[in-house]
Chain A
Amino acid sequence: MKQEDKEKWITAFRESLEDYSEPPLFNDWERLEKELSVVPVAKPKRSYIMYYSAAAAIILLLIVSATAIYLFDNSSDKYFETSQLPAEIETITDKKPLKDVIEPLINDVKKNDKSALNKSAVKNSVLSGNKLALANGTSSNQPSALSGNKKDVVNTKAGKDAESNNEDETLNKNNASDLQRTDERKAIEEQKLNDNSGEKKNVPQQGENNRSKKQALKTSPKKAEYVTELWELPRKKKQKNLSIGVSAGNTLSYNSEGGGMDYAMSPSYDYLNCMNVEEAIASSLLKSTPVKWNHKQSVSFGLSVRKYLTQRLAIESGVVYTRLESESSGSKSHRQMLDYIGVPVKLNYMLVDKRYFTLYLSGGGMAEKCISGKLNKIELSGKDISEDVSVKPLQWSLNGALGAQYNITPKMGIFAEPGVVYFFNDGSKVETIRKETPFNFNLQLGLRISY
């Protein structure tokens, strides 16, 4: 049989059945009518439902993320309430306890020449750090750098390399170098202008602060060790707690390793206060002022493309924008904003993959480039200064997250990914939440296209 004939009977078959009609087993209209009346099934309505649910999902996403951010922010605020305590110490009034504090130091001076030089510097710092002491014209006539942010001014004005500055300073203080003194006087003047209000507030606490200071100096071995280390090994101390390396052009906010940070974890309030004195000493010695940054939780926005390797496994890349915002909690107002654009590479494992909802685990790495960095300072004079602090090296990080995605269409969806992230040190001096806590939580929101 020819091929044509073969196909002919098939064509005939189709033609004979093309309009085939057979009455259904029963007329179904009534049931259909009922169902149509119960379910508003008209397609336009359905698509509205889809839009509504998409809108609802977006709103929900925003609420959840806003709440998360709020909670994170709140917790960091509390954290800083504790860490700000050091500043209060500056305004100690009771002289007797101060004397007690100084006495052991004076004794030390007699013993060792070199350390004595340093220590007396410290002593003076402590005394002059106490404003009232200065005001009343007590024991120390030598004006010295004051603790806290005021020293920033000293430091910047001196305009010296921080390292050498610190070393020089210990000696210079005792030699009463003119330059130093001038700077310090300036600092004091500015402090006086600045600190009046803080002083009044802190008065009720002062007695307690001094007592605890005394106690801790005498009893706490940790503290004694700290003091020795501080005087004898200023470099080591620097590395540990205060970051140095401020060049002339840079601002002190670079030294933003929050002075109070390490103590914030300290269980005892008294201990905390003691430490503050030391901190003040250390600060004045090193002439490097810690700006206490209040880092806000970073939130990233991204556009991701996901390619499924298998049904459950997918590789993902894209573009992520991140803003890091920090505010100083000192008396000066600093505000640092860094913008990053990053390219992540991640593997995703789908736990749930439905038409409208996807739940997945995600892990991978990201390279980020800082596209802009700004630091706004409001100086004592009220001048608003803005500086460029963008970071040159790439920021590398590893991350892991649990993601939830609402699929607006089968290929496109919005997602929220709460997760953990580890940031490698980028080698720069710019202080960010990533340096302070390299291992951190983050939340990423975005739009994803899958294929």
Chain B
Amino acid sequence: MREVAIIGAGSTKFGELWEKSFRDISVEAGLRAIGDAGISGEEIDALYGGNMSAGRFIEQEHIGALIADYAGLTGLHIPATRVEAACASGALALHLAVLSVASGWYDFVIAAGVEKMTDVDSDIADDLLASSVDREWEAICGATLPSLFAQMARAHMERYHTTSEQMAKVAAKNHANAIHNPYAQFRRAISAEAVLNSPLVADPLHMLDCSSIADGAAAVVLCAADKAKAYTDSPVYVKASAQASDTISLHDRRDVTAMDATIFASKKAYQTASLEPSQIDVAEVHDSYTIAEILAIEDLGFFNKGEGGIATGEGQTEIGGRIAINPSGGLKACGHPLGATGIRQAVEITQQLRGEAGKRQVPNAEVGLTHNIGGTGGTAIVHIFTS
């Protein structure tokens, strides 16, 4: 297997992009990544696009070909593949793109993620989120996506004494980070008190514990590491790309306060990269709900099980803390256009490891990690990168 590097990265702004279509944002992100890499369209061998539900959000399937077409790549007839793993679709596109370059099959590949969520009303979008869990035996019985994370939060609070204040701190920290991220949906501070005073969505989760519905797209350009220096002085190397699955239903899990898919994927990733959790400088983790970040930082091995809330409360996950978690603002403040998120995380880590993250730069960041899950953790995908 060959080593793989990221040589270009780009993203649209995330948010309610009413004036822009699915095609507009897909092409905008792709062109930014290609421009950043300084390669020409003729050099691209293949495209992988992560997207959860264009069929229901914009009534359009076959979006692999659509994106390649509107990106101006039709004349080259490159293979263009759409992949889906619910909210982890973006990281899945990256995983498959990495495998295709590592195997030697392709030399230059684009991994993109896109979701256009605001062309349907928010009730439909909320219902679509529930198609990432077990429709037949969770959603039909009344489960919404936040109601399942709320049950994880309840169990974590009762077993480990995690508090609503600690969960609110996740949202406050991520919003503070996003102030310095020009691509984030919400670039303003919110206090932990504001989170606690926002309406309950599913007890104990409040509205401001939840990530938002948004439009957005992001893309990275990958190539074989030995070719990377011809395009950039600061390639970012993909040291590990690991994917794991678990039961689709939350109630069938071994433990509702842990995500085994995250534990398995991260163990495999650390093993591949020959790195320990303590060697990670910066991580973009899947904070679709505040409790999800607390579970993630435990399951990824950054903190002991049950201590994620305490660590958050103590500021250990802030930029400048023991490990910087979600310097971009995370899903909470960047917005969560489902299929785009996994790639947006990789774009952020690329900028962090290049030292180009401006006021949200994590000092001396050399090793970064991304963590993207689908549904309540039926899929987890972990990537590790180095400068």
| Interaction A to B | no
Residues of A that sit less than 8 Å from B by CB: none
